[in-house]
Amino acid sequence: MPRALEGIRVVDLSHVLAAPTTSMYLADLGAEVIHIERDIGDDAREFGPFVGGHDKNRSAYFISLNRNKKSLVLDLKSQKGREVLRDLIRVSDVVLENFRPDTMEKLGFGWAALQQINPRVICCSICGFGHDSLPEYGSRPAYDMVAQAYSGLMSITGPEGGPPCRVGSSVGDIIAGLQATIGILAALRYRERSGRGQYVDIAMVDGLFSVLENAVARYVNTGEVPGPLGGAHPSITPFQGFQTKDGQWVIAAIGNDKLWAQYCELLGRGDLTDHPKFKTNPLRCDHRAELIPILQEEMQKKTAQEWFDIFERHAIPYSPINTLKQICEDPHIAHRKMLVEIDQPIVGAMRVCASPLKLSETPGEVYAPAPMLGEHSEQVLRDVLGYSRERVAQLQNEGVINKAV
Amino acid sequence: MPRALEGIRVVDLSHVLAAPTTSMYLADLGAEVIHIERDIGDDAREFGPFVGGHDKNRSAYFISLNRNKKSLVLDLKSQKGREVLRDLIRVSDVVLENFRPDTMEKLGFGWAALQQINPRVICCSICGFGHDSLPEYGSRPAYDMVAQAYSGLMSITGPEGGPPCRVGSSVGDIIAGLQATIGILAALRYRERSGRGQYVDIAMVDGLFSVLENAVARYVNTGEVPGPLGGAHPSITPFQGFQTKDGQWVIAAIGNDKLWAQYCELLGRGDLTDHPKFKTNPLRCDHRAELIPILQEEMQKKTAQEWFDIFERHAIPYSPINTLKQICEDPHIAHRKMLVEIDQPIVGAMRVCASPLKLSETPGEVYAPAPMLGEHSEQVLRDVLGYSRERVAQLQNEGVINKAV
């Protein structure tokens, strides 16, 4: 199959999660991503789970994020290493990094320098507070958790009354990574028209703040400060999880009064339908504290599967609250091919999450395993940069790049 | 300033949140987005908060999401309305929709029909389980909460031991919306090379499943089923929120043993540094239940601001857990111009969240207010489709489009 980003080359100076998410999307769409690593490798190579023993080429975390990419081990502290990087930037379309804000400048690859090396290059940086930030913020280390906390997202996530909870996946990194991908694709389009590259400055805090949607609209327009609501919806009741007889959870999403009447019947509680405290959604929201325990008691009388069958037959919107085991083994996920098997060097066959970009002609694909540390160093220097065999051997001997793996 | 997507026209049949997020990103980047609404308007026009009274043109929720777009009221149940839509598709680049999976087909605008109308058109659909889905899933109504529950995300969000919590913003809709934007931009790039459009099939459940990162890697490689961990990190301790003297929360992110020693000193608990149960991160994780109450007691002895000052001085990674009030009034958000004022018809001056796409040449921008219901109907038919004044007047009289607002 053809790929949408064929012909695009990315110099990927990223590590761990935010920018590697961006280069994963670009690689899944067919860009050639050259992931530059230190001799000890991307920190993510040390993150478990490990498949078959602790080793830099066995981290399932790293492998999942870096499929389809190439690995070039390059010593950027050496003058010769930086020369190789300069040569690569000269023949690339995108430079991607998520160092602390001053690192690229210190290495000699700040935006002004990049433009001199390649006026068509697009540079995308991801950091916690943005490159253009107040001085006291710019240098702060940016963990996902800092972005989740700082942005306000944690303050609206968790059980009612607190404590604030972290979202269980690193959405501070990932959402910034998605927004960076959009920024780069937009910049590529603009370059087709103008011939010019540009700088894309993505901040994890901006990214999460921009997805708070109604919470921001509510505060800036009414002054109301929303808090966490557990598993419930802020303005529809009942629209939340209930625990069932077998301890599993079921979401019942009763979005209107007609569904409410049906739901009461199915619960054997027709008496609630026209109850003066519960008969409309605003009333149910007002009397939530009284209503939910009543419903919870009824929902406890059947197993999750019994409720699913009943709700399915009567078109009541519902969902299980799937565990990771349930969703990974789910027939729908199988049908959508959202977990795919790769043949990973050293590790063997293993499953990774597929691309959610289901395009009919150029879908996001997992077409290659993740690279072993430094697997492509020699190939990149020979094939992409046209270095002679002797020059490559010398760089290997001097430790600027690794020897063949 | 130039805009990256100038010259791209989007027929936007979306409603509420998932696909409107996509068209917001496209419009912020300069695409001409023609949002087609029923006579009663996008459902989101009925979602509060309302600015200055309940009215379809006063929903802050709708306005925030639909800035920069045009509104065309069109009766798709009438033959003449569908003819107008056909004419629009003929001169557009992208069709975007988040109806239930069978709706476009029923209207006569399934993918085969769209290709006949315009072989260059890109169609992007967003729904809960995807257009290509198992029969019993495809027809299920897709609320954000269903996607959060079904995907497994809720099962890893919330306090340790449960109950599962919803992420406080509708990330099921929004992440699918971001992925759809990436899919559309990739399809536009492919079209530049091939001349052909394609179909982009985005599922909210795929979208969230694909961002679970390490939770999926853990389950598929070790069989371990991760659960929620409250405000804590699964593999670093302490790396979480603590409540302080004034009731405010502070995140302390103690990522290594050197920071641990400093942190213990600052807490006045140098005795913990080399304590046999706490001296390394694996030990601290193992004895989390014992350690955290000790630290919480110490953190309670000073106010949040006192801790921020201490941590800032000693370069301890930290963050407040900002409320919506704190983040919306934050100097960093002001510096990044993440809240911008628009002059909204009827409503007047109001603030909306800006684009996180900070591109140096073609940034995402809020350059126009949200449309009043049907504000651009006449303009679109006259200027985009070249209909005569008489033909437009007749369509108005027949109620196919609205009269001028």
Other Cβ atoms less than 10 A from the Cβ of B160: the count is 13
- Name the active-site residue from B12, B75, B173, B206: B173
Put simply, the answer to whether A213 touches B253 (Cβ < 8 Å) is: no
| Superfamily of domain A239-243+249-320, CATH level 4 | formyl-coa transferase, domain 3 (3.30.1540.10)
B213's tokens: 């990162």
Separation of alpha carbons A336 and B130, rounded Å: 8
Q: Give the type of residue at A356.
A: P
* DSSP track, B100-127: -TTHHHHHT--HHHHHHH-TT-EEEEEE
Q: Which member of A130, A230, A358 has the closest CB to residue B358?
A: A130
Put simply, the answer to whether B324 touches A152 (Cβ < 8 Å) is: yes
Domain-wise residue ranges, chain A: 9-211+333-397, 239-243+249-320
To probe the interface with A, which of B182, B188, B335, B347 has the most A CB atoms within 10 Å? B182
pLDDT in tens, B75-84: 999 999 999 9
Separation of alpha carbons A339 and A23, rounded Å: 19
Q: B12 near B69, Cβ under 8 Å?
A: yes
Q: What is the pLDDT of residue B294?
A: 97
Q: A195 near B195, Cβ under 8 Å?
A: no
Closest approach of chain B CAs to the CA of A215, in angstroms? Answer: 7
Q: A202 near A183, Cβ under 8 Å?
A: yes
Q: What is the pLDDT of residue A348?
A: 96
φ, ψ for residue B70, nearest 5 deg: -105, 155
Strand pairing report for B199-203 and B239-243: unpaired
3-class SS at B27? helix
Separation of alpha carbons A263 and A270, rounded Å: 9
Q: Which member of A134, A187, A241 has the closest CB to residue B164?
A: A241
φ, ψ for residue B14, nearest 5 deg: -90, 170
Separation of alpha carbons A265 and A282, rounded Å: 20
In sequence order, the 6+-apart residues with CB closer than 8 A to the CB of B220 are A60, A328, A339, A350, A351, A352
3-class SS at B401? strand
CATH of domain B9-211+333-397: 3.40.50.10540
Closest approach of chain A CAs to the CA of B21, in angstroms? Answer: 9
Q: A355 near A338, Cβ under 8 Å?
A: no
Put simply, the answer to whether A185 touches B185 (Cβ < 8 Å) is: yes
Closest approach of chain B CAs to the CA of A293, in angstroms? Answer: 14
pLDDT in tens, A1-55: 899 999 999 999 999 999 999 999 999 999 999 999 999 999 999 888 899 998 9
Q: What is the pLDDT of residue B224?
A: 93
For A82-96, what is the mean pLDDT? 98
**Set of chain B residues whose Cβ sits within 8 Å of the Cβ of A210:** 338, 353-356
From residue A181, give the alpha-carbon distance in Å to each of A87, A118, A200, B184, B274.
24, 20, 10, 12, 44
User: Which regions of B47-142 does DSSP assign to beta strands (E)?
Assistant: 70-73, 94-97, 122-127
Q: Does A286 qualify as catalytic in the annotation?
A: no
Sign of CA dihedral A87, A88, A90, A95: negative
Closest residue on chain B to A8 (Cα): B189
To probe the interface with A, which of B123, B191, B208, B211 has the most A CB atoms within 10 Å? B211
Q: Is B134 exposed, middle or buried (0-12, 13-18, 19+ CB in 10 A)?
A: middle
**Set of chain B residues whose Cβ sits within 8 Å of the Cβ of A326:** 152
Whether residue A162 is predicted with pLDDT greater than 80 in this model: the reply is: no
Q: Where are the alpha helices (DSSP H) in A67-139?
A: 79-90, 103-107, 111-117, 135-138
Whether residue A234 is predicted with pLDDT greater than 80 in this model: the reply is: no
Put simply, the answer to whether A249 touches B163 (Cβ < 8 Å) is: yes
**Set of chain B residues whose Cβ sits within 8 Å of the Cβ of A111:** 360
**Set of chain B residues whose Cβ sits within 8 Å of the Cβ of A308:** none
Helix A171-194, helix B171-194: angle, nearest 10:
30
3-class SS at A363? coil
Q: Quick one: residue B140, left, alpha or beta (phi over 0 = left, psi -120 to 50 = alpha)? A: beta
Cβ–Cβ pairs < 8 A, chains A and B: 484
To probe the interface with B, which of A127, A211, A339, A355 has the most B CB atoms within 10 Å? A211
Put simply, the answer to whether A217 touches B61 (Cβ < 8 Å) is: yes
Q: Which member of A60, A213, A338 has the closest CB to residue B169?
A: A213
A278's tokens: 């519960």
Put simply, the answer to whether A220 touches B175 (Cβ < 8 Å) is: no
For chain A, give the mean pLDDT.
95
φ, ψ for residue A359, nearest 5 deg: -100, 140
Structure ipTM: 0.96
**Set of chain A residues whose Cβ sits within 8 Å of the Cβ of B22:** none
A78's tokens: 């050496």
Put simply, the answer to whether B25 touches A168 (Cβ < 8 Å) is: no
pLDDT in tens, B8-59: 999 999 999 999 999 999 999 999 999 999 999 999 998 888 999 889 999 9
- Model confidence at A265, pLDDT cuts 50, 70, 90, reads very high
Separation of alpha carbons A9 and A118, rounded Å: 13
Put simply, the answer to whether A216 touches B64 (Cβ < 8 Å) is: yes
3-class SS at A324? helix
φ, ψ for residue B378, nearest 5 deg: -65, -45
From residue A65, give the alpha-carbon distance in Å to each of A306, A380, A399.
38, 20, 27
Which pTM does this prediction carry? 0.96
Other Cβ atoms less than 10 A from the Cβ of B342: the count is 21
User: Which regions of B221-317 does DSSP assign to beta strands (E)?
Assistant: 239-243, 249-253
Put simply, the answer to whether A174 touches B333 (Cβ < 8 Å) is: no
pLDDT in tens, A165-213: 999 999 999 999 999 999 999 999 999 999 999 999 999 999 999 999 9
Question: In terms of Cα–Cα distance, which of B172, B299, B324 is closest to B245?
Answer: B299
Separation of alpha carbons A206 and A150, rounded Å: 10
Q: B362 near B340, Cβ under 8 Å?
A: no
For A228-247, what is the mean pLDDT? 89
Put simply, the answer to whether B353 touches A210 (Cβ < 8 Å) is: yes
Per-residue model confidence as pLDDT tens for chain B (405 residues): 899 999 999 999 999 999 999 999 999 999 999 999 999 999 999 888 899 988 999 999 999 999 999 999 999 999 999 999 999 999 999 999 999 889 999 999 999 999 999 999 999 999 999 999 988 787 777 789 999 999 999 999 999 887 889 999 999 999 999 999 999 999 999 999 999 999 999 999 999 999 999 899 999 999 999 999 888 887 789 999 999 999 999 999 898 889 999 999 999 999 999 999 999 988 998 899 999 999 999 999 999 999 999 998 998 989 999 999 999 999 999 999 999 999 999 999 999 999 999 999 999 999 999 999 999 999 999 999 999 999 999 999 999 999 887
pLDDT in tens, A47-80: 888 999 989 999 999 999 999 999 999 999 999 9
Separation of alpha carbons A187 and A5, rounded Å: 13
Helix A18-28, helix A171-194: angle, nearest 10:
50
